[in-house]
Amino acid sequence: MHGENLLGKCFCLPGWGGKECDEVVSKDPCTNKDDLCFYTEEAGVYAISLDRWHLAQEAELATWNANSNNNPDVGDRIDEHMKDFKEYVDVGADGANLGNFIEVGSGPWTQSLAMMKKRSFKVDKYVIMEPGAINYSANMKSTVYRHGQIDGFDGKTVVINAGGEHLDVFQESFDTLMMINVLEHVNNGISMLRNLYNALKPGGMLIFNDRWWDSEGKPGSVRATMDMDVLYHPIRMKQAVFEQFLSGFDKIYEIRDQDSYAFTLPGRDYKGTYYIGRKKNMC
């Protein structure tokens, strides 16, 4: 009633508790301009208002539009992710067919195209799901799918101008699903994870990266202006959410926390995971 179900566990919304999120609990006083309104002790910030989400999305679009001439081979930290996934060798042998493939939250350049080129992977269908797809295609010449196909990849492409919040229309539809560094930008992180799980076929492969934010603590008080990190990243979920999600997969590869190259670059002290796994057959 007052939470989100993730693989059988209920994560309660702020102000609610109990196993089924049906018990009223105390909530920190806040205003609708304060991220503290959305904070929970167990999960961190996993859901925000549409107004807050749109604010973050507009900031993100403005940033990429300002960098519209970026080389798509460099893109959004492609080299970092490539390194932490060990060049995706655990996804499959060179030339393997990944079946029906989707990348959720691809941005203008995708992470998947670099992987496809590096490993010479094939797919039956290449689906890009990105809420800024139309904007990027119209305004950024370096967008790799701006003509409706993935430039540099010989195969059928489907581009969906929508966020992963709408992934729920797909049920056990994909053999391989990639989502890299996306959750902190969404409207509801737990709903998104549930959608990812449901969209994969049993035995389907997940290629996943994101951070958890336990060390951040509660969001700060109301700010006259938000710093860039807070503005861009309203969803700040704790490790417990990720552990529950990943419990639905058999691990193939994982690197975490300080073992990650990207998480330990100068100016960063991140915690999180780079993960490849196969969906378990669960009820």
Render pLDDT for 209-254 as a digit per residue (tens, 0 to 9).
999 999 888 887 544 456 667 777 889 999 999 999 999 999 999 9
Instruction: Return the closest-CA partner of residue 132 out of 100, 99, 156, 110.
Output: 110
Instruction: Return the closest-CA partner of residue 262 out of 113, 76, 91, 103.
Output: 76
CA distance 214 to 159: 34
Q: What are the pLDDT digits (tens) for 72-115?
A: 666 778 999 999 999 999 999 999 999 999 999 998 899 999 99
**Mean local confidence (pLDDT), 151-173:** 87
Bigger pLDDT: 33 or 13?
A: 13
Q: Residue 64's pLDDT is what?
A: 67
Least confident stretch, 17-26, 32-41, 238-247: 32-41
Q: What are the pLDDT digits (tens) for 43-78?
A: 999 998 888 888 887 877 777 666 666 666 667 789
What is the value of pTM for the model shown? Answer: 0.92
CA distance 123 to 95: 10
* Annotated domain spans of the chain: 43-279
**Residue-wise DSSP of 180-248:** ES-GGGSSBHHHHHHHHHHHEEEEEEEEEEEEE-GGG-S--S--SS--HHHHH---EE-HHHHHHHHTT
Q: What are the pLDDT digits (tens) for 257-272?
A: 999 999 999 988 899 9
Average pLDDT, the chain: 88
Question: What is the DSSP secondary structure assignment for residue 172, as one 8-state letter?
Answer: S
Edge-first strand order for the sheet with 174-180 is 157-160, 125-129, 100-104, 174-180, 200-212, 271-279, 249-256
Residue 122 in this model has a pLDDT that exceeds 80 = yes
Domain 43-279 fold is Rossmann fold (3.40.50)
Q: What are the helix (H) ranges across the chain?
A: 50-66, 78-84, 112-119, 133-139, 189-199, 228-232, 239-246
